[in-house]
Amino acid sequence: MTVVGHQAVDPLWCEEYGYGLGDPTGIFVLKYRSAGALEFGDTRQDFLHQLYWSPDGMLSTLDGPNARFIGANEAFWVHRAMSHHVRAGGNQTVYRLCLREVPAGINDLSVGPVSVDTEAARLIQAIARPGYGEQAALAARGSIMAGLASSQPGFIRERASGAGYARAVARELTHDPGTDCRLDEWAAELHVSPKTLQRDFQREFDMSYTQWRTKLRLQAAQVLLESQPVSKVAARVGYASPSAFISAFAKEFGRTPGGRRSAQASADSEAPPYRTSDPGGRGQQDRDRDLTVDDVPRLPHTVRVIHEALRLCPPAAIVTRMTMRDTVVDGFRIPQGTNAMVGIYTLHRDPELWDQPERFDPDRFAPENSAGRDRWQYLPFRGGPRTCIGDHFAMLEATLGLASIVRTADITALNSEFPIDVPFTTTAAGPIPARLVTRRPVTA
């Protein structure tokens, strides 16, 4: 018996775990990881029921005329012999469970979203790891089956920490992020006041309805961006114009939608990929080696990323210099021997020198955009005869270090804030929450 399905982009890896195969009470789990969009297109499995679930992103699903998104608290259930289409965004892990029995809680459901309780989610991930015993996995299968239920308001409300109203709205919004339904309209449908619903969003998600909806829309957009134009994605997730969508995306993720794609592509194409468990073949020796100094010329995008990071967070926010002769600055006379302070942090964010200076845009350091730039406009290592003696080594080390990391892992900031402190050098004011996910399995 085989499990078939077309994938638009080959996954970085696919692991399989089978327990009790051949028995109706068995379970077969496929675990996928992809750098780009992962697509199960126009699939129909006539022998097995299937459940698609991703713990770290949204799924875009289609069954007949019904198009919807599925969030991390839900999965997409497909009864055998039902055609369907499932798509995940880049840098997501997708679990595909294959069963011969239908969970009791969704016995009447042919295709559609199902709720996944916390224990079921934990066990799905647990049995999709090496070394999990068969008997323990079969026992876990029973708990997973029991943890699945039709996504009805009552089921969601049982698991809500607030009154359940925010969860009910969140479920509907997740399925259709593009809806223009306002907070007061949702409240009217639930027969509560807008204030009550807003409080429940704050209690349940620690943010307002508007903030939660914005984050949801941008998460949904990431599933679609690699296959659809920005204008179409913007309309699908509820933005009135592409420019409004691009602005929101850049504010949330620190890059434009197009910049996201180029960064991911360059991470894979600029340098030899990290070693994998694949058998030998053409280019295997190159794939297995670590990066060296000789690879730096092949890493132009990585270098631009580091330059942009140093522009926004220069190691020294302020430096002092003594004037060697009388001079005039902006109409003010500065006598010889004066201690002058140079605000590098301010210089790097001056709107007269930089277009949209608060935006993270590595392409501003592309050769065509750097031509004609004043040499004193960008001073991460200071300048002149007292420039930092280790600047070349620092750039070399940072380039190889960053490139080595992004070959094996995806790092995503969990919010758009990056508070800065300057006790002596420029540092983060506190921990910066981020999610790190392995892109390729590492072998010894």
Distance CA(409)–CA(188), nearest Å, equals 45
Statement to judge: residues 46 and 97 lie in one domain: yes
Statement to judge: residues 336 and 431 lie in one domain: yes
Q: How many domains does the chain have?
A: 3
Statement to judge: residues 230 and 349 lie in one domain: no
Distance CA(194)–CA(185), nearest Å, equals 8
Distance CA(387)–CA(129), nearest Å, equals 51
For 125-140, the pLDDT digits (tens) are 999 999 999 999 999 9
36, two tokens: 């780009």
pLDDT of residue 259: 57
Residue 279 counted as domain residue: no
Q: Are 408 and 439 in contact (CB under 8 A)?
A: yes
Phi, psi of 147 (to 5 degrees): -90, 5
167, two tokens: 């969860």
Task: Let me know if 280 is exposed, middle or buried by CB neighbors in 10 A (0-12, 13-18, 19+).
Answer: exposed
pLDDT of residue 443: 40
Who's near 79: CB < 8 A, 6+ residues apart?
49, 102, 109, 110, 111
Statement to judge: residues 130 and 236 lie in one domain: no
Statement to judge: residues 426 and 393 lie in one domain: yes
Statement to judge: residues 105 and 28 lie in one domain: yes
Q: Which CATH number characterizes residue 220's domain?
A: 1.10.10.60
Distance CA(248)–CA(264), nearest Å, equals 20
Closest to 142 in 3D by CA, of 94, 95, 107, 101 = 101
Closest to 300 in 3D by CA, of 399, 379, 439, 408 = 399
Closest to 43 in 3D by CA, of 8, 93, 10 = 8
| pLDDT, tens digit only, all 444 positions of the chain | 344 444 445 677 789 999 999 899 999 999 998 766 788 766 667 789 999 999 988 899 988 888 889 987 899 999 998 988 898 887 788 999 999 999 999 998 999 999 999 999 999 999 999 999 999 999 999 999 999 998 765 555 455 556 688 988 988 898 899 998 999 999 998 889 999 999 999 998 889 999 999 999 998 898 888 778 888 999 999 998 888 888 888 777 766 776 555 555 454 445 554 433 333 333 444 545 688 888 888 888 889 889 999 999 999 899 888 999 999 988 999 999 999 888 999 999 999 999 889 888 888 898 888 888 888 899 998 887 778 878 888 899 999 898 888 877 777 777 767 888 888 788 888 888 887 777 554 443
Looking up tokens 């696919």 gives: 14
Q: Give the structural domain span for 59.
A: 13-151
